[in-house]
Amino acid sequence: MFTARQKIKKEKEAQPSDLENQVAQALVDLEINNEELRPTLKNLHIVAAREVVVNKSSTAIVVFVPYRLRELFRKTQVRLVCELEKKFSGQHVVLVAKRNIQDKESHHNRKAAKGQVRPRSRTLTAVHEAILEDVVFPANISAKRTRFLQDGTKLIKVELENPYEVSEKLDTFSAVYNALTGKNATFSLPASEE
């Protein structure tokens, strides 16, 4: 009836890894056992999954979803992430849309010669901004600053809203964003007004 292979759509029929099979099987189990998530999970699938080391004692699972299905995942993402974290014994789970970055066009490039322009959403900067929003999804980004240190390194400081849902995941967000983009970022919550 349901198989884990139906929940993974790899490019060029590549074979899924063990982690991807485990995530797909967890999605199938949720679809079978959870009445609330069944209607939405019926039409959803993943593209890839990856494990990211947060610190010495914990790891996070990054699940890549198709770009076209990101809005469907967003509708049930909070509940889905909660259920997946239960299945994976407390590991943090982050859902990120799979996006492509296109190179800059040059005049000798075929597409540029035909008059096609690279869409803004495919630039490196736009993709990294979108990944940042995906990583912190239940929360909203209220402020973002880029700090240049004296040794020449950049540090991105991000302040988040909705602290009740993401307060324990700030280190996970930093590790995942660094693993996906290579940029260092620190996440903070607004000071509580008590």
C-alpha to C-alpha distances, 103 to 96, 111, 132, nearest whole angstrom: 21, 11, 20
pLDDT at position 164 is: 62
**Percent of the chain scoring above 90 in pLDDT:** 1
- Residues contacting 92, CB < 8 A, separation 6+: 54, 58, 60, 61, 85, 169, 172
pTM: 0.84
> Is the pLDDT confidence value at 130 over 50?
yes
pLDDT of res. 107: 54
Condensed to tens digits (0 to 9), the pLDDT of residues 34-56 reads 777 777 777 788 888 888 888 88
pLDDT tens digits along 64-75? 988 888 888 888
Query: CB neighbours of 118 closer than 8 A, spacing ≥ 6?
Result: 102, 103, 104, 105, 111
